[in-house]
Amino acid sequence: MPHHHHDNCSHEGHDHDHSSSDSTGPNDNLFTHIDRSNVVALNAGGQGSEIIKPWDKRLDEEVFLESDSDDQLILRVPFTGAVRLRSLLLKTGPGDQTPTKVALFANEQSLDFDDVNDKSPTQEFDIAQGREVGEYAVKTAKFSTLSGITLFFPAAQGADNTRIYFVGFLGHWSERKNNPFITVYEAQANLADHEKIQGTEGNFSTSQS
Q: Contact at 8 Å (CB) between 103 and 183?
A: no
pLDDT of res. 26: 84
Nearest to 34 by CA among 48, 22, 45, 21: 48
pLDDT of res. 154: 97
- The span from the CA of 209 to the CA of 36, in Å, is 68
% the chain with pLDDT above 90 = 69
Domains and CATH numbers, the chain: 4-190 (2.60.120.470)
Average pLDDT of span 88-112? 96
Average pLDDT of span 127-151? 96
Q: Rounded to two decimals, what is the model's pTM?
A: 0.75
% the chain with pLDDT above 70 = 73
Q: Contact at 8 Å (CB) between 131 and 206?
A: no
CA distances from 140 to 13, 87, 160 (A): 8, 8, 33
Average pLDDT of span 160-180? 88
pLDDT per position as a tens digit, 41-75: 999 999 999 999 999 999 999 999 999 999 999 99
